[in-house]
Structure 1
Amino acid sequence: MKSFAQETHPDKIAVARPAVTGMQTQAITAEKMLRIELAKLDLYYVYDAFDMAEVTAESEEFESKCQSKFCLTRLGKKLTVNYTISGSYDKLGNKIVIQLKLVDVSKGEVIRTSMLEFDDQELELQRMTQCAVRKLHGLEIDKLLTDRLYFKDEPATLNNVGRINNSGPRVGYAIMTGDLMEFALRPEGQGGLDIFPGVSMIGYQFEKQYIGTENFSALFEFIPNVSGLEQGRFIPTMSFLNGFRFGKAGWEFAFGPGIGLRQTTKGFFDTQGAFGNAGDYISEADWNDYADRKYVDDPQFQVNGVYSRPAPSEFVESYNFDSRFADTRGRTQLTTSFLFALGRTFRAGSLNIPVNAFYSAKKDGGIVGINVGFNVIKSKTSVKNWP
């Protein structure tokens, strides 16, 4: 007695295990994918592995090496089906190629073939199989799938180049310039760092390429960084960069804002040496303490017998507390900068070794230096992760 499925679909089809090369997916998994997609077409009664078990057990060829027209014909006759189907799944460079053939068992001829090239997204192999099976039968394929899965040998949209995530540690050395150098050299008693104005840097670069080809790529970089540890200082910064990488040589240019933390006070620099050594920094608190000690008994600063603290401008007109300067004794606030970097990435297999020179510009000075690191290609975006 025929089953309901056999009465509904008089044409019977068997799937022979396809050949799979260069991928993590096993051939038996690809075989199951083919069965599922054929069943979805609702055109055949599709033999499952249990229907075929007795015949495939007869020879290793039927079980796993039956991709030729002649073997598919013999297998079909053994199973008494109308059609057999098999093919190959191959990863070739940066693409996946699926080839299928449909054999008419009674004629012993291949009556249909299909071949499709897909972008290297192995996690989407089920959808790729769906496209290949529908093409084999001349059926319409969802345009969304073709746009996202088909291999396109064209610039600026390649998924294998344009959506690579490279991340890795960075170490370097930088020299402070301008007011930052003054802050580094200033004695601790005046709120300075009292260190050599050159500091080590250690951080981690999170990199995301958002567009790219073999000869050009654009990327976003986020770099948290800590400086000055070797001199007993903890100076944190974060940089957000937009970068461009050119050519196979790996030359790159990046720029973007940076933010950090610093402590500041209102004060002035005693450039004339009116209250001590020329060039000393005097904060508002320093001045209050100095003036109270020096002028509290001076009749010139008594009003009706009450002491009135003088302002520094009463002695030197340009001295005031209108500006804030870096001071380790002051309040903590955010500081901003703008960073420029130029360098080259040297490659050894999948290992990238970036070397960059950079300059971080601030209103009150800057930092110039060099850093080096390494990163490895870690991930590629699949269709499931697309917005």
Structure 2
Amino acid sequence: MKKVRLKLGLIGIFILTQMTMMAKETIAIINFDVIGSNYKESQYISMVTSEIRKLDTMDVIDKYSVAELVETNVEPGKKCFGVRCISELGKSLEVGYALTGSAELTGEKLSIHLRLIHPETQKVVESDYSEYLYEEEYIWKFMEMSVKSLFNKKVRMDDLVVFNFDKAKNAELEGPRIKPYNLSGPRFGVSHITGLNSDILQSTGPGGYNKNPSMTVIGYQYEKSYLYTGAVQAVFQTNVSLTGLDQQLAIPSLSLLNGFRSVKYGFEIGFGPIFRLKQVQKGYVDESNTWITAGDNPNYDGVLSNRLDSRGDYKFQPGWVWAIGKSFKAGNMTIPVNLYAIPDNDGWLYGFSFGYALHK
């Protein structure tokens, strides 16, 4: 009988020991400092909570219980991110560990800092600081990588389309898996004509237009990336536009540009031919600096030149465009802003344009 009791006792002790070993540590996510990011503190806490639960190594305290405790114990307007403050809140929650962190978005770089604190000893037992090239749609992947790194779990890089900022130099050489821009979309802007062409536009005399040299531009840009190194992409851009609708004009143009764009920073440069529909008239300038058309003096045997003239015939005239620009991101939208110039012996044309494109 004694042997039976001894066996039962040993079995009981073994079961209790196993249950104790199987019991998970508890953890509370307490406060998350967010700087420059569109995501709120509560959203970052939810992401961290979800990733820790996926690891299945700790029981995470309900975020509402934590929020209620913070609201009760922390004075309004006061920040609680220090080890001592977090430890005191952790003790009140009676958890084995407390986790706090921060996320700071600076330009294209997202910095995530996680700290695992032991409330009883008031010490940071683990910490992880990681930097990423920011892509909003992959924020969950960033958090997954940071949480796994904090808990020393293997991070699978082969299925990620993002990469750690620490390896950016090598990744740029190898071609990082960042989606290149595609800025196809509508364009709006203003152009200004200078020199002789400006005088002709404003003239109320024969051949003049009585128009303002500054005109609105509306159009659409199609583009295709044909070379991508990871850091820089080469694009072919086709832009069709109408100029002067604000002044009862509709001047069509077609430009075919070759461009180079920095994927990381969004800066770009482009150049190529442009074809514009213009009214031109053959003629010459006499000794009194007066424009004489070929029709006004058919017997003139000197050199004739083409010039902008409201009495002339419509012709597509070629030209050359130089353009620079910068793209700005706003959520899933990219806003390209460009400055361009078209050289002309009778007066350069300068312009400003902007548009939008959606990420798919």
TM-score, structure 2 normalization: 0.58
- 1:101 and 1:124 map into 2 onto residues whose CA distance is 22
Gaps of 5+ in 2: 1-19, 196-205, 278-296, 300-311, 328-334
Deviation at 1:46? Answer: 0.7
Once the two structures are superposed, the pairs formed by residues 18-33 of structure 1 within 5 Å of their partners are 18-33=32-47
Q: Structure 1 residues 22-31 or 91-100, which shifts more? A: 22-31
User: How far does the alpha carbon of each residue in 1:54-107 deviate from its partner, in whole angstroms, 9 at most, with x for none?
Assistant: 533431269983322222222222111111101111122331100001122343
- 1:337 and 1:28 map into 2 onto residues whose CA distance is 59
RMSD: 5.3
Deviation at 1:37? Answer: 1.4
Aligned to 2:342: 357
- 1:239 and 1:168 map into 2 onto residues whose CA distance is 15
Aligned to 1:35: 49
- Check the 8 A contact 1:163/1:209 in 2, yes or no: no
Amino acid at match of 1:357: I
What secondary structure does 2:128 align onto?
Answer: strand
| 1:340 aligns with one of 320, 324, 328 | 320
Amino acid at match of 2:341: N
- 2:76 and 2:153 map into 1 onto residues whose CA distance is 29
- 1:230 and 1:50 map into 2 onto residues whose CA distance is 57
What secondary structure does 1:143 align onto?
Answer: coil
Amino acid at match of 1:341: V
- 2:129 and 2:260 map into 1 onto residues whose CA distance is 36
- Check the 8 A contact 2:322/2:342 in 1, yes or no: yes
Deviation at 1:219? Answer: 4.8
- 1:237 and 1:29 map into 2 onto residues whose CA distance is 48
Gaps of 5+ in 1: 1-5, 176-193, 261-276, 280-325, 329-334, 360-366
Aligned to 1:255: 272
Aligned to 1:52: 66
Once the two structures are superposed, the pairs formed by residues 32-181 of structure 1 within 5 Å of their partners are 32-52=46-66, 55-60=69-74, 65-143=79-157, 147-151=161-165, 153-154=168-169, 163=181, 165=183, 167-173=187-193
User: How far does the alpha carbon of each residue in 1:331-376 deviate from its partner, in whole angstroms, 9 at most, with x for none?
Assistant: xxxx9987532356699xx9956141257xxxxxxx9952311438
- 1:195 and 1:139 map into 2 onto residues whose CA distance is 77
What secondary structure does 1:16 align onto?
Answer: strand
- 1:83 and 1:15 map into 2 onto residues whose CA distance is 9
- Check the 8 A contact 1:17/1:63 in 2, yes or no: no
- Check the 8 A contact 2:259/2:268 in 1, yes or no: no
What secondary structure does 2:121 align onto?
Answer: coil
Q: Structure 1's 235 and 241: CA in aligned 2 closer, same or farther, altered over 3 A?
A: same
- Check the 8 A contact 1:62/1:71 in 2, yes or no: no
- What is the count of residue pairs matched by the alignment? 283
User: How far does the alpha carbon of each residue in 1:306-347 deviate from its partner, in whole angstroms, 9 at most, with x for none?
Assistant: xxxxxxxxxxxxxxxxxxxx998xxxxxx9987532356699
- Check the 8 A contact 1:204/1:223 in 2, yes or no: no
- 1:231 and 1:28 map into 2 onto residues whose CA distance is 52
- Check the 8 A contact 1:346/1:354 in 2, yes or no: no
What secondary structure does 2:154 align onto?
Answer: coil
- 2:48 and 2:241 map into 1 onto residues whose CA distance is 50
What secondary structure does 1:55 align onto?
Answer: helix
Deviation at 1:20? Answer: 1.0
Q: Structure 1's 46 and 209: CA in aligned 2 closer, same or farther, altered over 3 A?
A: farther
Aligned to 1:242: 258
Q: Structure 1's 33 and 54: CA in aligned 2 closer, same or farther, altered over 3 A?
A: same
- Check the 8 A contact 2:319/2:342 in 1, yes or no: no
- Check the 8 A contact 1:94/1:160 in 2, yes or no: no
* Greater RCO structure (CA 8 Å; 6+ sep): 1
| 1:226 aligns with one of 230, 242, 265 | 242
Taking only the aligned residue pairs, the percentage that are identical comes to 19
Deviation at 1:234? Answer: 4.2
Once the two structures are superposed, the pairs formed by residues 208-219 of structure 1 within 5 Å of their partners are 218-219=234-235
Q: Structure 1's 54 and 253: CA in aligned 2 closer, same or farther, altered over 3 A?
A: closer
- Check the 8 A contact 2:275/2:318 in 1, yes or no: yes
Structure showing greater Rg: 1
Deviation at 1:110? Answer: 1.3
